[in-house]
Structure 1
Amino acid sequence: MWAIGDKKTQDGSDQENFTFLGKGVDFKGVVNFDGTVRIDGRLEGEIHTTGTLIVGEHAVIKGIISAGTLMTSGKINGTVTATDKIQILKPGILIGDIRTPAISIEDGAHFHGMCDMGAHKWVEDHTAPGKNVHDLTVHRGKVRSADL
């Protein structure tokens, strides 16, 4: 079954953790993982990983998700935070508020909710208008009165 040369060391230093919640599995509660997680079943509650969360086409998740990267082609209803990016793939459906620095939505996928990509940081850093900014409404009034 396993060749002696194929065995990996048991300390896990040379391999990433990979967790799989298969189709037909129903889970309620809080799940915490490191590494990559793939869900093809149903989960209600919270899921937290610093790595990648892959939501399969037949998966249904209701609750709170925090991950490094989220790739979904399943159904998610809840609040999602991703520190790296969110990818919604066909035929995925994501309903709820999301917070991520990057998002991609494939044709045929659906998203309904609010998306925060950190734009408020840019708005706060934006400086007030300088001396060279002119109010065009004042100018427009002068032009109209001159035409009469």
Structure 2
Amino acid sequence: MKKNKAKWEEVAESLSSHISKDNSCMKILELSYNYLPMHLKPCFLYFVAFEEDREIPVQKLISLWVAEGFVQTVEQKNSNAVSYGYLIDLISRGLVQVGKRRSNGGVKTCYVHDLLHEMCLTIAEKDNFMKVIQE
């Protein structure tokens, strides 16, 4: 096969759709969600509010988490710092990917993999967390 970007993107898309149809793969991914601490579960599921394959500005994401009431207050820490800690925890667990970094090394944008986004969508709808209406 030629080293053509469009062809490799087609292969990746085909592979993702094949894997997502494989229920055993989704069951394995769901284990990562099931073992999350309770305070991180709504934060992770909130990624369904964003389009698949889009980098999400971290400041926007953590502001939304705070507005939704997902952030538990911790002594001597503001809610943005706690939210950022939640995000770092999700990143360290491999559920969220870093898109871009700030000059100081902090996370500027993030995203979730297609398969994890699909899993979030399934769980969010099953648990009545959020219903996504697609065009």
Q: TM-score, normalised by structure 1?
A: 0.21
Specify which structure has the bigger relative contact order, considering alpha-carbon pairs within 8 angstroms and separated by 6 or more residues.
2
> Larger radius of gyration, structure 1 or 2?
1
Q: TM-score, normalised by structure 2?
A: 0.22
